[in-house]
Structure 1
Amino acid sequence: MLGHVRGKRSAVTCALKCGNACLGDVCNDSENNYFRDIVEGQISRRSALGLGLAGALTLAFTGGEKAQAAGLSQAVKSAAPSKLDFTPISPVNYTVDEFTVPAGFSWRPIIRWGDPLFHDAPAFDGANQTPEAQARQFGYNNDFSAIIELEGSQGRKAMLFANHEYTNNNIMFSDAEMAADPARIRAIARAAHGLTVVELERKNKNAAWAYVKGAPRNRRFLLDTPYELTGPAAGSALLRTNDDPSGRRVLGTLGNCAGGVTPWGTILSGEENFNGFFRATGTSAQDKRYGLADKPTGNGWELDDPRFDTRTPGYENEANRFGWIVEVDPLDPTSTPKKHTMLGRLKHEGANVHVAANGRVVAYTGDDERFDYLYKFVSRDAYRAGGTAADREHNKTLLSAGSLYVAKFEGSSPAAEVDGTGALPADGAFDGVGQWLPLVLDGKSAVAGMSTEEVLVYTRLAADKAGATKMDRCEDVEPNPITGKVYVACTNNSNRGKAGYAGVDEVNPRALNRDGHIVEITEDGGDQTATAFTWNLLMLCGDHTQGDTVYFSGFPKEQVSPISCPDNLAFDSKGNLWISTDGAPSGIGYNDGLFKVTLDGAERGKVEQFLSVPRDAETCGPIVNDEDRHVFVSVQHPGEEGSFAAPNSYFPDYVPTGTAAGTGQFAGPRPAVVQILPTAHAK
């Protein structure tokens, strides 16, 4: 990975998480028009950028077991000045194995890898793991997290959701274990994937949360958990296998990354790097476009289960059954989770839902691959805000029918002014207009030569034909609950502008983009169902002290915290943007962290670092409850560059090395969901 890894970004992450995607061929070698600059005279920049938020917005909030929709005026009224004031921390060197928070705050884990979820689950013993134990315990590498407070509990009970993206076997198991019984190790790793729902409780609204072992709603979603396929592609011949001739029932979910909470109180989770779990022929256009190849996988599951080898007769379509948005009801432990084909099949980072003024539901999602695309789904039916059980059941069907679009961006500056350095064009901003190009309209294909089923199963190929804009890895995509504007984290793209690849354009203006940027979108008239929008770049990330060309909406670059590789996004009640990073800032190498960004007023573009995660870790799944001054993050793959025998991290328990096997203690790192709260609350 020499030349591809930036700062403290680990080659281990690249190998295990995405199968060294940066070293392979770019999946998108299409000839579609990825960008069209607008020369002066073709469009008035003033009129194009003045679309504004003209219409009323309906914004979704979740609260307890009933979800409500509120108008914009109510949302603004609730956005009192944030109580989450803090003194920003300084960047932490990537060799430091500490979880660092601002003065006056403390941190503690809520739940860690291996913590038992059920009364019959054994306590975690890192030296004596079994597949059966892991299936009853919290999984590994939790990424997205969500907390839904339970109605009537006065803020004392909640449900926590977390997904488990992949495993780091090198720090989970000893070399001797892996050599002696590799099949057992693979079985434990499979049980460490999937999803978790677990109940939380606390003494009062200021206190720290603790998870409840054996709570009736606790649940683990494993690789044998059935999922229902919904939408137009459900039942398609493209989704049928020997085990499921109906094409409607999939076992398990894989590679789950970011997600979102719906207005009706369910959880959405994106299946991202699913291709790395399958061995395939790798010869078809579809296989190549999705990065499926004829080589042994890093997990080796094809040695144990034929469905992970799509060369096996009867399992040719198994990989088509992954790469979807998954919906889970955390309040009903007997419910069947869903995979929604209407949102398309791609490397979903996640999906986030907004209720438009006309009541229709809009979901934004990014395809986390170099030169892939940004998507939007608009529901056919309207959201019901009544709050009854019948309303909630209706709302749980909204993602099954509607229209799917992909984004095309156009710039306001001549192409010659976007030179790849990140320097601003003459008009002083990276901005322009855009269109949502239809892929499926009202359940019917809008792409010539492709059926609706083909568009949804091979969405990337459909978007190529439509002429979407090639982006620098769209990760999390979040609508702002206060303004309705949409924010897109483009994490990086080290191939941008290289020979044989797409060049720079105004929405992706830096060649060899290793630090990433944030796109801000305003839908036409403030209507999330519109097919036109304006956009600008909120920031070009990096560290100006290292010579990086950076831009923070005009805020002085000397007064911001260095930030690189934006990944997950969140908002506080005031509408400030919070960014978690995966790759850390620039060349000198800092630990990843969580950052607050002011979006409005004189301090628009001001970046302040709130926390730093331990050595080798990634910051994921931020939740910001600024009213209570509580923040939550998932800490993924801490100490991943170490080994079982020589750990690089001891997070979160910091158990001393040499702890005896069989004691239930583990002298090594454990991914965890962490809460940060005022020190006075933590006592």
Structure 2
Amino acid sequence: MLPTDKSRLLPLLPTHPAGRAAVTCRYRCGDACSHEAPNTSDNPYFGDVVGQVLDRRKVLKAGAVVAVAGAGLGVVGSGTAAAAPAPAAPRTHPLGLDFEPVAPNDLDAVVVPTGYEQDVLIRWGDPILPGAPEFDFANQTAAAQSAQFGFNNDYCALVRVPGTRDRWLMVNNHEYTSESFMFLGWDADDPTREQFEIGLAAHGLSVVALDQDRRGRLAVRLDRHYNRRITMNTPFDVRGPAAGSDLLTTSADPDGVVVLGTMNNCSGGLTPWGTILSGEENVNQYFGNADAVTDPVARARLARYGFPAGTTERKWERFERRFDLARDANEANRFGWIVEIDPLEPGSNPVKHTALGRFKHEGANVIVARDGRVVAYMGDDERFEYLYKFVSDGKFKKGDGRFAREHNKKLLDTGTLYVARFTGDSPPEEIDGSGTLPADGEFDGSGEWIPLARNDRSFVDGMTAEEVYVFAREAGDAVGATKMDRPEDVEPSLKSGRMYAALTNNTQRGQAGREGATEVNPRVANKHGHVLELEERRGDNTGTRFSWRLMLVCGDPNSPDTYFAGYDKSQVSPISCPDNLAFDSAGNLWISTDGNALGHNDGLFAVPVAGRERGHVKQFLTVPAGAETCGPIIDDDHVLVSVQHPGEVDGASADNPLSHWPDGGDSQPRPSVVAVYRTR
């Protein structure tokens, strides 16, 4: 329910064009939204790439909306209630969506629907290793942070401990550090070595054991066997076709097979074999002096990935040579990968998978295709970048025995990497950039997955296979991939096999010298984003042909440029900047937002993807002002969300906190994981 204490409202402060605070842009992505997007390639307009128009009745209308079967979602109910968009046609809530939507707000609180309660499971700095000290904001050390929950938790996943019914391992990404919110008296021009080392330890991932009681409530366990911190000092094995490449060798690793650390881990995915895939995203901002690299090809490639000239925000290059590109330019190529962590084997080295390509990975999500091969879908989270998929050579083995798991953990080492090209089915003149629907009533069309490389074979003229994997953006440019509006989380539905992608926003679309509206990205100056639905031809996730449609065009439902799968817009919750995606056990899509450009706090939303309620967006919760909603888990017993960077608004800092969530009083804000439970 909504808190009534109006003193907990935070002021509305200046934000970047897409709605996020400027200070968040500085720390999270190196202020990418204030710079030109690095994709300057002249790819052809997507409507001209394939000279054909689909017969929509054959490809999309036939069976495109199929009733989703499945058990009800206990945490959000399965009862019925009147929810009538038209008085003459009362409807029942779909399975799992029996809740009253939360109203948009600006409160310094997590707000959940009536009939639900919430607990803070874990906060930045809470001990996770036995013997770790309690958090002391004013007296932090790198040694303590290495044994405590990291900063700015993002993706969250649960893996059941084998042989138990009530024990889980929770895995969390720690995307980035916001030093002015971490340290009193922070001097951006003169950070200390201890602050640098705390920053290294605050990045990475945490693995934390959870106990579940008879009521379904979760609690952290300081488990000596499973609990683990993965930081910027953890060794990672490099595997796949680019392992050992000259492009990955450095003075510290002349063989190019071991990388120290992982950084800017955003979203991720849980594999069918029980490991975690985590995406390294805005890694460019951590490396300084790209302008001092003398090789012109290397400099151009650094520019394509947005590596900055001169010094960085955090000044890490002052303390370790690996962050100084003037001393070792190849260090840049060792980050920007999908990494795999096995929480059930705490002594194992995590892996960087080169076969999945290098770019600004939001994450990777896997589905087992009909023939047993596994398919991973991925987005490159920057304006005008691309959607990718990987299809394994090997086939998935069922079972959770050691032999099957070890086999399955190698599936991402060999296979084919693809990039997406989209074609609209409407005349170009009907896509005018305003968001007005074309004459056929939908933004939709066809597309193809273009192969880039398979193992040691390149399909891109002028590039070796190793170059394709290390510089996947260049490969996408070369084959004419479709430029998208920040493709973030890409999630296949395990019920229907369809893929859903969050396109968060792109305020540069249609600006001078930039690509204008296309049917798959239909608005210029797109500040609210949209959600894409993609269906492989004949339901084969390993194929190269697909049909697509925009399920949601986000923003204010009262605005004519929004679309909610044809649902009555007067009945939906306003939604802006879709980011992470998840599915519940009934097949409903859940969407978390990042940078709400409607002037309210970010939140978590649910929407049916099939049936009469398809497109009926309902807001389930909101997070505190300045925070982002991340890493949702929608389980039958609970909903988990990562509340990232609470209180991170312009004008705030550790010396001037404008949020006191989650502890209240005069406490500092702390990124945390929140569990929500049904009480009625």
TM-score where L is the length of structure 1: 0.90
Instruction: State the one-letter code of the partner of 1:563.
Output: I
Aligned with residue 162 of structure 1, among 162, 172, 176: 172
Within 2, Cα distance between the matches of 1:635 and 1:42?
A: 44
What does residue 329 of structure 1 align with? 342
Within 2, Cα distance between the matches of 1:355 and 1:53?
A: 21
Distance 1:221 1:425, change over 3 A: same
Instruction: State the one-letter code of the partner of 1:498.
Output: Q
SS at match of 1:201: strand
Distance 1:49 1:332, change over 3 A: same
- Aligned partners of 1:401 and 1:443 also within 8 Å: no
Distance 1:179 1:519, change over 3 A: closer
Instruction: Establish whether residue 133 from structure 1 lines up as the match of residue 144 from structure 2.
Output: yes
Within 2, Cα distance between the matches of 1:604 and 1:452?
A: 42
SS at match of 2:194: helix
Structure 2: 5+ residue stretches without partners: 1-12, 79-94
Instruction: State the one-letter code of the partner of 1:398.
Output: L
What does residue 20 of structure 1 align with? 31
Distance 1:52 1:392, change over 3 A: farther
What does residue 640 of structure 2 align with? 632
Deviation at 1:202, TM superposition (A): 2.2
Aligned with residue 644 of structure 1, among 635, 640, 654: 654
- Aligned partners of 1:232 and 1:443 also within 8 Å: yes
What does residue 676 of structure 1 align with? 676
- Aligned partners of 2:241 and 2:455 also within 8 Å: no
Aligned with residue 292 of structure 1, among 296, 300, 307: 307
Distance 1:16 1:122, change over 3 A: same
Deviations 1:553-599 (A, max 9, x none): 1111111100000000000111100000001142xx10000000111
What does residue 468 of structure 1 align with? 481
What does residue 62 of structure 1 align with? none
What does residue 583 of structure 1 align with? 595
What does residue 376 of structure 1 align with? 389
What does residue 568 of structure 1 align with? 580
Single out whichever of 459-468 and 17-26 deviates more from structure 2: 17-26
- Aligned partners of 2:567 and 2:615 also within 8 Å: yes
Instruction: State the one-letter code of the partner of 2:266.
Output: C
What does residue 272 of structure 1 align with? 281
Single out whichever of 38-47 and 84-93 deviates more from structure 2: 38-47
SS at match of 2:322: helix
Within 1, Cα distance between the matches of 2:133 and 2:260?
A: 25
What does residue 67 of structure 1 align with? none
Aligned with residue 326 of structure 2, among 296, 301, 311: 311
Deviations 1:339-377 (A, max 9, x none): 000000000000000000000000000000100000000
Structure 1: 5+ residue stretches without partners: 55-71, 658-666
Instruction: Establish whether residue 390 from structure 1 lines up as the match of residue 403 from structure 2.
Output: yes
Deviations 1:402-456 (A, max 9, x none): 0000000000000000010100000111000000001013541110111000000
SS at match of 1:224: coil
What does residue 156 of structure 2 align with? 145
Within 1, Cα distance between the matches of 2:191 and 2:444?
A: 56
Within 2, Cα distance between the matches of 1:601 and 1:507?
A: 23
Distance 1:305 1:518, change over 3 A: same
What does residue 555 of structure 2 align with? 542
Instruction: Establish whether residue 621 from structure 1 lines up as the match of residue 631 from structure 2.
Output: yes
What does residue 63 of structure 1 align with? none
SS at match of 1:13: helix
What does residue 567 of structure 2 align with? 555
- Aligned partners of 1:4 and 1:494 also within 8 Å: no
- Aligned partners of 2:70 and 2:587 also within 8 Å: no
- Aligned partners of 1:615 and 1:648 also within 8 Å: no
Within 1, Cα distance between the matches of 2:98 and 2:511?
A: 43
Deviations 1:262-292 (A, max 9, x none): 0000000000000000114346220110001
Deviation at 1:42, TM superposition (A): 4.7
Single out whichever of 239-248 and 38-47 deviates more from structure 2: 38-47
Within 2, Cα distance between the matches of 1:258 and 1:158?
A: 20
TM-score where L is the length of structure 2: 0.91
Instruction: Establish whether residue 92 from structure 1 lines up as the match of residue 105 from structure 2.
Output: yes
- Aligned partners of 2:486 and 2:506 also within 8 Å: yes
SS at match of 2:27: helix
- Aligned partners of 1:190 and 1:223 also within 8 Å: yes
| CA RMSD, 1 decimal | 2.1
Deviation at 1:533, TM superposition (A): 0.1
SS at match of 2:137: coil
Aligned with residue 425 of structure 1, among 438, 442, 459: 438
- Aligned partners of 2:557 and 2:572 also within 8 Å: no
Aligned with residue 209 of structure 2, among 199, 205, 212: 199
Within 2, Cα distance between the matches of 1:146 and 1:346?
A: 23
Deviations 1:141-188 (A, max 9, x none): 00000011223322x110000011111111211116878862222221
What does residue 228 of structure 1 align with? 237
Distance 1:433 1:177, change over 3 A: closer
Within 2, Cα distance between the matches of 1:35 and 1:343?
A: 24
Within 1, Cα distance between the matches of 2:15 and 2:668?
A: 28
What does residue 516 of structure 1 align with? 529
- Aligned partners of 1:280 and 1:287 also within 8 Å: no
Within 2, Cα distance between the matches of 1:574 and 1:40?
A: 39
Deviation at 1:237, TM superposition (A): 0.3
Aligned with residue 506 of structure 2, among 493, 508, 519: 493
Instruction: State the one-letter code of the partner of 1:302.
Output: E
Instruction: State the one-letter code of the partner of 1:32.
Output: N
Instruction: State the one-letter code of the partner of 1:612.
Output: T
SS at match of 1:333: coil
Within 2, Cα distance between the matches of 1:435 and 1:115?
A: 47
Aligned with residue 123 of structure 1, among 134, 137, 141: 134
Instruction: State the one-letter code of the partner of 2:288.
Output: R
